[in-house]
Every structure is written in C-alpha cells, then in structure tokens.
Chains A and B, each alone.
Chain A
Amino acid sequence: MSHCWGMAVDLDRCTGCGACVIACQAENNVPTVGEEAAQKSRTMHWIRIERYYEGEFPNPRVRFRPVLCQQCDNAPCEPVCPTYASYHTSEGLNGQVYNRCIGTRYCANACPYTVRTFNFFNPVWDKPLHLQLNPEVSVRQIGVMEKCTFCIQRIKASEIQAKAENRALREGEPVPACVQSCPPKALVFGDLNDPDSEVSRLARSPRGAKLLSELGTQPKITYLQRDSWDGPNS
C-alpha cells in the first residue's frame, strides 16, 4: 500500500519554543540570511511559529501556531509553475525540484500559507554552521524556490531500510526533524493511509481543523485545539 504522509499539530500542546524551527534549519541545510535580510523579511525558515495575541489586560493571551508547508492535496502552487518544479508526488507530497526551478516565484504568490521561501542570493551559513551541513540534503542555488519537504530524505531512508529488512514501515518511522525535536510532542507525523496510525486518529479528532480550509486546498496537516479561537482567520 502506498503512503500518504500527513501531520497533526496539537496547538494545545505547543509552547512556541521554536525547537522545530532550529531542527528544520539544521536538518535541511536552510541558510541563515543575516540580520539585514531578516529585517527585509527574507528569512528562509521552512517552518515558523506564528504568534497571535488576544484579550486585553489583565487577561492577555498568546497563541502559537507552527506553520509549515501544508502539503495540500489540491495545491495552488503546483499548476502555476511553468516548468514543473512544483509538482505532486505519488505519495501526495508537494514536491519541489530545485533543478527545474527558474525562479518565477509564482508558486510563492499562489500559496495562501506563505510558506515558500526564495533564495534571493546564494546561500551562506554563519560559521561554524557551515561545518554541520547535512550531506543527505542538496544545497540550493540562488534564484530557486524551496519549502518544507516533510524531510523527504528521512522518508526515503526509512523506506529503503524497511525494504532492505523486508518489512513494512513501523509506526513512528520515518520522523521529520521538527517532529523529532518537539519537546511537548505537539507535532505528530505519520501515514494517513493507515487508519490505525496516530496521525490518522488525530486527524479524525473533533478538535481538528485544517488551516484556511475554506480555500479548498485540502491540506494534509490537521491543527488540533480544544477551545474555539476567534483569532484572525481562524
């Protein structure tokens, strides 16, 4: 049976610590852009923690929402790419082929979640980060778009390992860097085609909702939260 990778994000557990952001940056060779570019909002993070504030003193409240590529089934980024750099893989992921990308940036405009990041310059890593590049992940060139891949290198490695051992993938395998590093276990990753997996169970939870579901993008990430949130575009 083929896989359909999905994720559940438990907002009731998320503390907004940012460990997922750092883990992703390290795992996927995401460049650091420096202070000046960061001020121009040219950061390259594949996952970000959105902070929203609600309520008035004395009862203010902060809401955290980790946002990464939603791996939509009906992705607006895919049809607009003239060179098939953005395409749908057989496992339902939104693939991004860096070598095909010519940098029209159309996909990033079309993405309602604004999760795509663009290499405005050739990537640099502040020392000593350049010594810890992940050999499993290609480094992207200037002028190409990139985004969360659900750690495709880890997915492939697990699949190859399982095949070598002549067995099916086990629950909790593969695990993307963000999920692995989340201290309160707010992020859960797994196969949505397996109805017994934890992520499938959470996706069916009454607490679950999709981000911007009204757009019909059919994301594969479910956000879980107990109380209703009357925040912006909730």
Chain B
Amino acid sequence: MAQTAEQIQRDLLRPVLDPSRRAKPVIAGLALLVLAGFSAWMYQMYTGIGVAGIRRPVFWGFYITNFVFWIGISHAGTLISAILRLSNATWRRPITRCAEVITVFALLIGAMFPLIHLGRPWLAFWLAPYPNQRGLWPNYRSPLLWDFFAINTYLIGSLIFLLLPLIPDCALLRDNVTGWRNKLYSLLSLGWRGTQKQWHRLEAAMHIMAILIIPVAVSVHTIVSWDFAMTPVPMWHSTIFAPYFVAGAIFSGIAALIIAMVFLRSSLHLEEYLRPECFDNLGKLLLVMSLLWFYFLFAERLTTWYGNARPEIAVFWLTQRGPYRHLFWVMVGCNFVLPFPLLAIKKLRTIAGTFLASVAVVIGMWIERYLIIVPSLSHKFLPYAWGTYRPTWVEITITAATFCGMALLYLLFSEVVPVVSIWELKAGLREPVR
C-alpha cells in the first residue's frame, strides 16, 4: 500500500486530465432524464399544481417527501467529514471530499422542492426579507421561513466547506492545464502559491469551518422536522421529531456516501484509495445509525400506542395495519432488518455488503419520509374529511429526475476536480497509519 506522492498525483489527476475516459453515453442518458424531469416541472408550472396528485386533505405529497429526503442526504457530507476531521481519523482522507460534494448537490436538489411544490412558484421570492412595495416582512413565526434561512445558511456553509480544501488541488490543476480551464482553476485556487503562511491559514480556516458546520447541520434538519412538529397534526406534533429527523438524516447520508463511493471506486479505478477499511468503518457508522433509527422509531411508536389518543391512534393503525402497512414493513426491513446483519457481522461488512445495506437504507429512508407525511395528513381529526393520496406521473417523473440529476452532477464534478483530495492524501503519507 505504500504509495508515493507522484503515484497519488498521477492516479487522481487522471480522471480530470484524460478526456478520453469520459463516460459520454452515461452523461447524455442522465442529462436526458433530467431534461424529462425539467419538462414535467415546466408542464406543471404551465398547467397548474393540480397536475400533481395532492388533494384535500393531503396537501403535501411526493414533493415534500423529496425535500425532506434530499435535505437528509445532504447530512452525509459535511457532518461526517467535519466530525472525522475534528477527530483526526486517518481513514477520512480519501472520503472527505466525496462526502462534502454530496452535501452541496443534495442541498441544491432538496432546496428546489419547496419551489416545485408551491402553488405560485413565481412568487417564491416573497419569502426573502427585503424592502418591498407590499410593505410587509415575511412571517418569522413560520417554520417555513426558518427553513428558508436554515437551508441557505447550510448551503453557503457547506459550499465554503467544500471549496476550502479544494484550493491546493485546484492550484495543482491550474499548473497542469492551459486555456479556459487554466482560468477556471486559477479562479478556484484563489492565488494559492503553497507558502507556509497560506498552509497555516488554510488549516485554521478548515478547522473553524469544521466546528461551525456541525451545529448548522444539526439545526437544519431540526428545523425541517419542525415544519411538521409545530402543527397540531396527529403524529406530527411530537417532541421526538427533531432528534429523530437528524438521526435519520445522518443515517441516509452515510448510505448515500457509501453508494457514491462504490461507483467512484469502480468507474474511476480508485481501488487503492477507497480501500475496504473505509467501507468497513463507514459500515460501522451506518450500523450505529441504524440502531439509533430503530430506537427512535420504537420510542415514537410505543408512546403513541400507549398514549392511545384518539386522532393519533387512528394514524398509528393506519400505518401499522391499514393501507400503509406494506410500506411500513418494507421501511423497517430496509432500515433495520436487512442492514443490521449485513453491517453487524464482520464477514458481511464488505464493500458489496455495505453497498447492499446502503441501497436498502436509502430506499427505506425515502419511504420513512413518505410515511411521516402522507398518513398523518390523510387522517386528521374529523373523519368526514379523511382522504387519500396517489402520486401522478408528473410527481414520479420529477422525483426520478432528481436522482438522475444527483448522479449527473456528481459525475460531472468528478471530471472537473479530483474527487479524492490529493493534497490531503499526500499529507497523510507523512503520518503513521493508525
């Protein structure tokens, strides 16, 4: 495993510098699917939000599910990378950047959904506080406004957190390319010359950001959970929601990171960098989060069942024995029953094992978001006003397109900058392997 600095540089710059290796058909295919999703959105904008399946009383459906899901995925990056950086774990070095990129892209995708779901999306800017002819500030008591600020803060923070460690690698690229790409990397490297002072400042800035970003990340999903918990809707109005959502977010985030790493490993031939130990360690983290998730689910379900309040128990049995029972048990299977043995047994905690567990977790966590939103809304207090929800092709197309969009953005990113941090690996050569 003893790599030299030259080897690292050559291997990791190859995907960026060698255009013949580009997966053009894959990019074209993904772009086409993203375009389909965009067309569906334009169709919805032109025809009206009514082309989605939402109705009375289920006014939120797939779009808000996707919103919560993608904001959850975004917790992969920043939080994991920040914690690993602060705890100075050696095995973090090859994975921090993969993780940080997920955060930025997942946030961009997640933040689109509140716009997509609006009845009048062209007026979305009314959420921003600016002096206007309406003479009106936005309503600071609304959790949606808290969302607006939390997500924007997190987006800016995670962008800085991604771009800071990119500086030395962009400087390296700048010195290896010509033309417009030279200009791009010069811009991104912010005049990096690699002096002692610059290194010192970079380390300090990264340290500050790593500390700052953790409370921001926790607050973001806390606030997303409060979109639900602040309203008197059965099974929403719960104090457990904030930690439950944060745990679920980190859970699905780690799963997304493992999936991304598996694809990067094989497509960019990074077998020597994204080594089995990384997957083993991430698998352990995923196991902890799986147990935590199950604990929260158990606590939520037990207190609801034991409390036996009329409106709540109606929603409880709706998901436990009613029409949502299949989804519920698939969720439990995907989030706990399947990943638990895969991750707990050392022999199974291989790359393939953690990949399988991660795919299950991502599916399970999407279902979890859906099961939090839809059954509660369909069974509020007055039985006469109970209802159902069924997504339409528009919602399904847009949902599918966002997954393709994520893959596309990730792929393009991996061809513009090295997804494994070169300078951090080189720095790792100097320290003993722990």
Contacts and interface: CB of A to CB of B under 8 A. Distances in A.
Q: Do A and B bind each other?
A: yes
Interface of A: 37, 40-43, 48, 50-52, 65, 67, 76, 79-84, 100-106, 108-110, 112-114, 117-122, 141-145, 211-212, 215, 217, 232-233
30 contacts: A41-B56, A41-B387, A48-B385, A50-B385, A52-B383, A79-B141, A80-B230, A82-B138, A83-B127, A83-B136, A84-B136, A102-B123, A103-B120, A104-B118, A105-B117, A108-B57, A109-B57, A110-B231, A110-B233, A112-B232, A112-B380, A112-B381, A113-B381, A119-B119, A120-B55, A142-B49, A142-B119, A143-B120, A144-B119, A233-B310
Contact of A81 (B114, B118, B139, B232): B139
B97 to A, nearest CB: 35
Contacts of B233: 109-110, 112
A104 B117 CA distance: 7
Top 5 A-B residue pairs of the complex, sorted by shortest distance between their CB atoms: A103-B119, A143-B119, A120-B50, A114-B385, A50-B384
B50 A106 contact: no
Contacts, number: 151
A177 to B, nearest CB: 22
Given A40-B55, A233-B310, A105 B119 contact: yes
Nearest to A216: B232
A105 B49 CA distance: 11
Contact of A67 (B55, B380, B382, B388): B382
A113 B47 CA distance: 29
A114 B119 contact: no
Interface string B106-121: 0000000010011111
B142 interface: yes
Chain B contact patch, size range: 35 or more
A30 to B, nearest CB: 14
A41 B49 CA distance: 15
A82 B147 CA distance: 10
B17 interface: no
A42 B141 CA distance: 29
A114 B142 contact: no
Contacts of B119: 101-105, 118-119, 142-145
B134 A82 contact: no
B145 interface: yes
B231 A76 contact: yes
A232 B48 contact: no
Contacts of B48: 120-122, 142-143
Contacts of B385: 48, 50, 67, 113-114
Contact of A106 (B138, B144, B148): B144
B118 A102 contact: yes
B124 interface: yes
Contacts of B377: 109
Nearest to B136: A84
Interface in B361-387: 377, 380-385, 387
Given A80-B144, A232-B382, 8 more contacts: A42-B50, A102-B119, A105-B59, A119-B119, A120-B55, A143-B120, A232-B383, A233-B382
B383 A121 contact: no
A1 to B, nearest CB: 29
B231 A114 contact: no
A5 B432 CA distance: 77
Contacts of B148: 82
Contacts of A121: 47-48, 50
A232 to B, nearest CB: 4
Given A41-B56, A52-B384, A101-B120, A83 B126 contact: yes
B403 interface: no
Given A80-B143, A110-B232, A143-B49, A105 B60 contact: yes
Nearest to A79: B141
B381 A233 contact: yes
Contacts of B134: 100
A102 B50 contact: no
Contacts of B387: 41
Contacts of B333: none
Interface in B293-322: 310-311
A109 B231 CA distance: 8
A82 B127 CA distance: 7
Interface in B1-58: 47-50, 54-57
A142 B120 contact: yes
Contacts of B60: 105, 109
Q: Which of A41, A48, A109 has the most CB of B within 10 A?
A: A109
A117 B384 contact: no
Nearest to B227: A106
Given A84-B139, A143-B48, A102 B124 contact: yes
A80 B142 contact: yes
A103 B59 CA distance: 10
Interface string B128-154: 000000101011011111001000000
Q: Which of A51, A67, A80, A119 has the most CB of B within 10 A?
A: A80
A232 B232 CA distance: 18
Contacts of A142: 48-50, 119-120
Contacts of B381: 112-114, 212, 215, 233
Given A50-B384, A109-B377, A144-B119, A104 B50 contact: no
Nearest to B118: A103
Contacts of B311: 233
